[in-house]
Each structure stands twice: as C-alpha cells, then as structure tokens.
Amino acid sequence: MLVIGTAGTELTAAERDWLRHDACAGVILFARNFASRAQVAELTQAIREAAPRPQLICVDQEGGRVQRFREGYSALPPLEPFDARFASDRAGALALAREHAWLMASEIRATGIDLSFAPVVDLGRGNRAIGNRAFSADPRVVAEFTRAYVEGMHDAGMAATLKHFPGHGSVLEDTHFEHATDPRDLDTLRAEDLVPFVAGIEAGADAVMMAHVAYPAVAPEPAGYSPHWINGILRHDMGFRGVVFSDDIGMAAAFGVGGIKARVDAHLDAGCDVVLVCHPELVEESLKAVDGRVLNTMALAGLLGRGAMGWDGLLADARYGDVRTRVESLA
C-alpha cells in the first residue's frame, strides 16, 4: 500500500486517477497543499470523494520548523524546550507534553485529517535532520515524554506514530540528502535509542515509521529495507503489532537499492505495511511498481480518524483556549 503526495491546493485529474488505484491507501499533505484552514478542509473532502475506499490523510504537524499548516493554527513549539522544563518540573513538563499532543492532534482532526506523524522519539544528539525536533539526549527522559505524548494524541482521537525506528538521532547525516550509517551494536542501541520506542509501544502507539539509516553491526540494509529490523526486532522481540511505515522513498538515503520499483519492493518485502511516496513526480511509477502484489487493504483501518469534532466543536471545548495559551508560551 502507498501513501502518496499531491502537488497543490486542489486535485488534478491525474491525481484523482491515482486515488482510484487499488494500492493507494492515503495522501500526505505538505505546506504546498495548504492555503487556509477552509481550503485544506475542502481538499481533504475532495480526496475522500475521489477515492473508492477510505483514505488515510496525513501530515507532519510536529511543531517548530516541521509544522506544515500555520495560519489559523496554534504556533506549536518544537519538542526540545520540554527538556529544560523537565529538569525543574518533571510533572509539569509531562503534563504540558500531553497538552501539546492533544492540541496538535485536535486541530488536525478538526481539519478533517486523520493522522499527524508524531511523536519524534529520536534522541537529540546533534543529527542535522532531527535537531530541536527531539525531546532530549537522554533516552529515559525521551521515554517519559513519549508515553505522555502518545496519551495526549489518543485523548484527541488520533493514532500515534513513533519515528524514526530504530533511532535517527545519534548519527550526524540528514537522510533527506545523505546516506547515514550508525556503527553501534544492538546491545548499545537497546540501552539507548530503542528505549523510547519500547516506552511508546507499551503506551499503545499505533504505528512506527522506519529510519533510512543503516546499522551494519545489526543488519546489512538500512532499517526500512531490513526484515531483521522490522520482523525480527520490532515485531518479534519488541512485540509491536501496529502499522509500519517507510520513510519517504524520495529521500537520498533511500536510493541505495536502486530505482523507484526497487525501493518500493525492498520496503514491502522487508515487512513495511505502507510506503510513503511524498514527491508527486514519483507516484505514477510507484503505483506501477505494486501491480500484481497482494494488497492489505485493511492495514490502515485502525489509523483512520475517530470522529472529528470540526472547528466549531473544538472552539467550544472548554480546554482549547487554556491549553493553547500554555503550549504556545513554551515557544
């Protein structure tokens, strides 16, 4: 199954055709798809009307620099400032993280979107892609925030996605532009980067997104292409039973196995349930790549939104104004 990107603020005729393909499971939206709150609500409705089956509509609305929708939405801070608050007020910091999650997810659900890919549970150890998107460098602190964030998203009726498994924060390279290799062994990863993922799975996280990072002391392939990481460690050893997403196949670190078909096949063969195709220019070839495959059309059913209240309903929620003030004050 594929989750695809579209080009603009309205669907083209070609994009409507893509949505009718048996392998199209959903759409991921970006800033290029956003003009206003009303417009993006119309776009999500058009996506659902164009497809013959339910579509999972997604976005990255983490906060900070990774917030695709801004005008009309809360100014969500990145996750890094929570670490300093935790040092002086552990309970208050965790409560605020739950509110950050609830606020982010409530606003996205009120727009008609099912899923924001959050939380980032990578360690904040200087990676160029992660930066201030991470809660902390300390795995046990990140684990506590992970539990709180999953709880907050669930309270808003949104599934939670832990990313980027098994940990992107401890390498320097940005996998959007570079290949990345982490030389550490599995025991070290279990004691460090995997700790927040264990906590998130225990908290009931619904999905995991893989990292385009290779860990050669554990498996020869990057994690998203690795049956050992997905089926052996994540599913068997860690007991994860949710949905596994690839990261975007248009990122430079995904190029190592070859062209578009090779990337799609490698992810699906390794055990990913869903492949992200964020660049519209790659969608046509990606849809052709899955021709003849058996498709799990029910894989994403548990991630679909659980009854959005709409903006009027959100504004009427007694929590909304107070939570927004507290969360924005952290920025």
Residues tagged active-site:
176, 247
∠ CA 182-139-68, nearest 5°, is: 80
**232 is written with which tokens?**
């052996």
Distance of CA 23 to the CA centre of its chain: 20
* Three-class SS state of 182: coil
* Three-class SS state of 255: helix
Under 8 Å between Cβ of 124 and 171: no
Q: DSSP characters for 118-175? A: --B----S--TTTGGGSS-S-HHHHHHHHHHHHHHHHHTT---EEEEET-STTS---T
Under 8 Å between Cβ of 166 and 215: yes
Q: Which residues contact 318 (CB under 8 A, 6 or more apart)?
A: none
Distance of CA 59 to the CA centre of its chain: 8
User: Alpha helices, DSSP H only, in 159-318?
Assistant: 186-191, 195-202, 227, 260-270, 283-289, 310-316
* Three-class SS state of 107: helix
Burial per residue of 188-204, b for 16 or more beta-carbon CB atoms within 10 angstroms, e otherwise: ebbebbbbbbbbbbebe
At which residue do the structure tokens 């684990």 appear? 143
Q: DSSP characters for 188-212? A: HHHHTTTHHHHHHHHTT--EEEE-S
Q: Which residues contact 309 (CB under 8 A, 6 or more apart)?
A: 106, 109, 110, 317
